[in-house]
Amino acid sequence: MTGHGRTIVVTRKDIDEIQLAKAAIRVGVDVLLHEAGVSYEAIDEFIVAGAFGTYLDIASTVHTACFRPCRWSDSSRWATRPAPGKC
């Protein structure tokens, strides 16, 4: 139920679209890093901007494999340098 007392309905189509979006983000980041010759371990800061970054729950994105696990900073919008072997 929502705060307004309405039922939330999540369909199979909704789940499929979330899975596709998550995979596209993960592959996009992986390809960009690969093409740049940069490893996750070399990243000092990871910023997720815009409306997507505003409402993003970092723990959920890592749990669903949208982003690789890293040692995240206090802000929900960026990660500090990951611990060795963690990303």
All structural domains of the chain with their residue ranges: 12-79
Q: Which tokens in the block code for residue 59? A: 């723990």
14-47 residues labelled b (16+ CB within 10 A) or e (exposed)? eeeeeeeeeeeebeebeeebeeeeeebeebeebe
> Which stretch, 27-31, 44-48, 59-63, has highest mean pLDDT?
27-31
- Say what the pLDDT of residue 20 is: 92
| Closest of 74, 48, 73 to residue 61, by C-alpha | 48
- Say what the pLDDT of residue 83 is: 42
Structure confidence at residue 85 as a pLDDT band (50, 70, 90): very low
Give the DSSP H or E segment for 16: helix 12-36
